[in-house]
């Protein structure tokens, strides 16, 4: 059995993976598609193979902040493992790709039956927990440019490509800042030749340089993941 | 301690048991434990004093215990590399400190500091893990609590970005007030500033404004809430969002 492109699934014993594969189906993740709305029932969980999903907390009926990102290293729908069947946050596809989709009812049954799956999901909850916690502090203390660099690295990891689509408007929405703030920060990163940006296409030019420009939160997120799944 | 029932002379051990039952169950999670669980937990629960400023654990360090506050309030802070910190959640008599333990993390991503002095109970990390692995009703209760805590953290993040210090101060006072048994908080402005991740002057200014509006009185570290409805009106929506989520996810717990 080949390794699953999803890193969480690839950590599971073969038997567990085979059952989940049989229960689920591969679906397309379309760019800017909403795959979860806060307060709505959870229909299914998604294990992305490629592509990635942003988790957004919203206030005042519009303002939002990205508090987490899910790609092939993670899964959407951990609340099912916490005994909750409604969506906690808005989930928006940022990078198109594919995911294994398993219905909520089937996934719940598997969780009950499979201790290995339960243990894996719990560890991933810890990773997301750390990500959420960091989001609160990062937003408070770090400059837009650092946060943008972090966001670009996180997207780069999950997009599995050096180029991806993103508008300044969308970045502003994610980072909770005004559009002009993003334009200035992106301009600064471009002048340092870390990225190039052209009509909605972001290209990562110098990943190591970007890692230097990012706040420490990027490395901390990586470390939390490695601690659980490394 | 005097026995309330003269018909039943209690021996030392019984008095202790009785006291644990009454005081430990001030914590709503402990109070919602089914009888069988309570029987197992009661002998191993340990009451602890939680004085203002005590650090229950540091981020990145192994957890030795989980804590169930009864009258104290614990603040979970995320600490940056340069030492600056911001509060990501508060835990009081509705909750438990140390949830990362049963998610498989031996360490925790945050620092836990006593924000309002009081008491609580603690359980050793090994014991907690063993209980969790029994996969009984305790597991479900704690998992739902974890989701509520995650919501509080996400909401705090968005609040940090979009809401004014005044609104955040009101949110923070209300969250604290819900976890207290009266309307008085003992708290220095410096500690509040650390919680909210702002300068002390900002907190002073915010607190003075609330005092002038007749919502609180603040004297030498003692905050008394005078007008709760007024605070709610000035707070951002984040207070109500978090409260609603706790009520929804833990109906049996928050109704207590």
CATH number of the domain encompassing residue B137: 2.60.120.10
Query: For residue A31, what are the β-bridge partners?
Result: none
A20 domain residue, yes or no: yes
pLDDT digits (tens, 9 = 90+) for B79-104: 877 777 888 899 999 999 998 887 77
Q: Are residues A56 and A122 in the same domain?
A: yes
Nearest CB to A140: which of B86, B110, B150?
Answer: B86
Contact B197 A141 (CB under 8 A): yes
Joined together, the tokens standing for residue A67 give: 């508090």
pLDDT digits (tens, 9 = 90+) for B116-146: 889 999 999 999 988 888 877 888 888 889 9
Q: How far apart are CA B45 and CA B20, in angstroms?
A: 8
Among B135, B160, B185, the domain-final residue is B160
Q: Are residues A163 and A114 in the same domain?
A: no
Nearest CB to A136: which of B84, B86, B237?
Answer: B86
Identify all chain B residues contacting A64, using CB atoms and an 8 Å cutoff: 158
Residue A181 CB: number of other CB atoms within 10 A? 18
pLDDT digits (tens, 9 = 90+) for A160-190: 889 988 888 888 888 888 899 999 999 999 9
**Is A172 an 8 Å CB contact of chain B?**
no
What is the value of pTM for the model shown?
0.81
Q: Are residues B79 and B139 in the same domain?
A: yes
Cβ contact B154:A36 at 8 Å: no
Q: Are residues B74 and B92 in the same domain?
A: yes
Q: Are residues A167 and A104 in the same domain?
A: no
The nearest alpha carbon in chain A to B244 belongs to A39
Q: Are residues B49 and B126 in the same domain?
A: yes
Q: Are residues B68 and B127 in the same domain?
A: yes
Mean per-residue pLDDT over chain B, rounded: 85
**Is B158 an 8 Å CB contact of chain A?**
yes
Mutate to test the interface with B, among A117, A126, A151 (most CBs of B within 10 A): A126
Contact B144 A82 (CB under 8 A): yes
List the beta strands (DSSP E) in chain B. Answer: 46-50, 55-57, 65-69, 73-79, 85-91, 111-116, 118-124, 184-186, 216-219, 222-225
Residue-number span of the structural domain to which A19 is assigned: 7-138
Instruction: State the complex-level ipTM.
Output: 0.73
Cβ contact B66:B29 at 8 Å: no
**Is B165 an 8 Å CB contact of chain A?**
no
Residues of chain B below pLDDT 50: 1-3, 6-7
Q: Are residues A61 and A121 in the same domain?
A: yes
């Amino acid at each position: 059995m080949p390794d699953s492109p999803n890193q969480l699934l690839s950590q599971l014993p073969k038997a567990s993976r085979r059952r989940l594969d049989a229960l689920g189906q591969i679906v397309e993740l379309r760019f800017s598609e909403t795959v979860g709305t806060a307060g709505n029932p959870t229909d299914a969980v998604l294990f992305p193979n490629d592509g990635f999903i942003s988790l957004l907390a919203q206030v005042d009926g519009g303002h939002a902040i990205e508090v987490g990102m899910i790609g092939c290293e993670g899964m959407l729908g951990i609340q099912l493992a916490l005994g909750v069947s409604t969506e906690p946050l808005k989930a928006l596809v940022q990078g198109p790709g594919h995911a294994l989709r398993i219905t909520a009812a089937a996934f719940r049954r598997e969780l009950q039956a499979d201790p290995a799956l339960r243990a894996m999901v719990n560890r991933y909850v810890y990773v997301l927990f750390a990500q959420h916690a960091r989001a609160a502090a990062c937003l408070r203390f770090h400059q837009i440019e650092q946060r943008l660099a972090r966001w670009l690295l996180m997207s780069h990891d999950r997009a599995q490509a050096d180029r991806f689509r993103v508008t300044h408007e969308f970045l502003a929405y994610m980072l909770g800042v005004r559009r002009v703030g993003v334009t200035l920060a992106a301009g600064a990163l471009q002048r340092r030749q870390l990225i190039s940006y052209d009509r909605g296409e972001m290209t990562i030019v110098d990943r190591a340089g970007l890692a230097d420009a990012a706040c420490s939160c990027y490395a901390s997120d990586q470390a939390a993941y490695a601690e659980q799944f490394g | 301690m005097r026995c309330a029932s003269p018909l039943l002379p209690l021996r030392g051990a019984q008095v202790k048991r009785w006291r644990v039952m009454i005081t430990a169950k001030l914590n709503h999670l402990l109070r919602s434990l089914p009888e069988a669980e309570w029987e197992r937990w009661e002998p191993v629960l340990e009451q602890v004093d939680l004085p203002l400023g005590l650090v229950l654990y540091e981020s990145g360090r192994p957890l030795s215990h989980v804590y169930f506050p009864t009258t104290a309030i614990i603040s979970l802070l995320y600490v940056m590399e340069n030492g600056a910190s911001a509060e990501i959640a508060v835990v009081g008599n509705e909750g438990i400190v140390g949830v990362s333990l049963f998610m498989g993390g031996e360490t925790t991503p945050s620092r836990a500091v006593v924000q309002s002095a009081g008491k609580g109970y603690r359980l050793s990390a090994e014991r907690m893990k063993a209980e969790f692995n029994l996969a009984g009703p305790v597991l479900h209760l704690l998992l739902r609590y974890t989701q509520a805590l995650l919501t509080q953290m996400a909401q705090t993040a968005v609040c940090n970005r979009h809401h004014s210090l005044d609104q955040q101060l009101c949110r923070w006072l209300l969250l604290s007030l819900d976890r207290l048994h009266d309307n008085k908080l003992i708290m220095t402005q410096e500690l509040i500033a650390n919680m909210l991740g702002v300068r002390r002057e900002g907190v002073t200014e915010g607190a003075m404004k609330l005092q002038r509006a007749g919502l609180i009185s603040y004297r030498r570290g003692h905050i008394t809430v005078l007008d709760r409805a007024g605070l709610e009106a000035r707070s951002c929506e984040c207070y109500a969002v978090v409260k609603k989520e706790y009520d929804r996810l833990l109906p049996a717990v928050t109704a207590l």
